[in-house]
Amino acid sequence: MKKSNAIISVSLLAGALVMPSVGAYADPNPPGNHQQREELRRDQQRLEQLRQRRNQERREGDRDDAREYNDKIRDQKREIRQDRREIYGDRDGWNRDDRRRDRDHDHD
């Protein structure tokens, strides 16, 4: 009986400590409106699809099509940066960090 009470008490204590910390990460008022954030998500998904298609063309050896996808990827990245600027403002580091990360990821 005492053992089960101790286990229940420890479980309740652990749950009480974990619950507030989980909610601390969620922002109740994220920047931008729902439509803007949804558009940014769609643009990011489209970018990933373009990257996958470009990689497929590279594997198949079609460099001309891969080059065309590089142009589309560049345009999509530009659109994503513009969307982020509209939602989050023109923060220092956003564009610079994104370009560095994209350059490392894409190997264009």
pLDDT digits (tens, 9 = 90+) for 62-102: 999 999 999 999 999 999 999 999 888 876 554 555 555 55
23 within a domain of the structure (yes/no): no
Q: How confident is the model at residue 60 (pLDDT cuts 50, 70, 90)?
A: very high
**What is the predicted pLDDT for the residue at 87?**
87
**What is the predicted pLDDT for the residue at 57?**
93
Overall size of the chain counted in residues: 108
How far is it, in rounded angstroms, from Cα 44 to Cα 39?
Answer: 9
pLDDT tens digit sequence for 7-42: 666 666 666 655 555 555 566 677 778 888 899 999
8 within a domain of the structure (yes/no): no
62 within a domain of the structure (yes/no): yes
Domain that holds residue 72: 45-108
72 within a domain of the structure (yes/no): yes
Domain count, the chain: 1
Q: What are phi and psi of 78, to 5 degrees?
A: -60, -45
How far is it, in rounded angstroms, from Cα 30 to Cα 43?
Answer: 18
89 within a domain of the structure (yes/no): yes
65 within a domain of the structure (yes/no): yes
* Structure tokens given for 50: 């373009």
How far is it, in rounded angstroms, from Cα 70 to Cα 63?
Answer: 10
93 within a domain of the structure (yes/no): yes
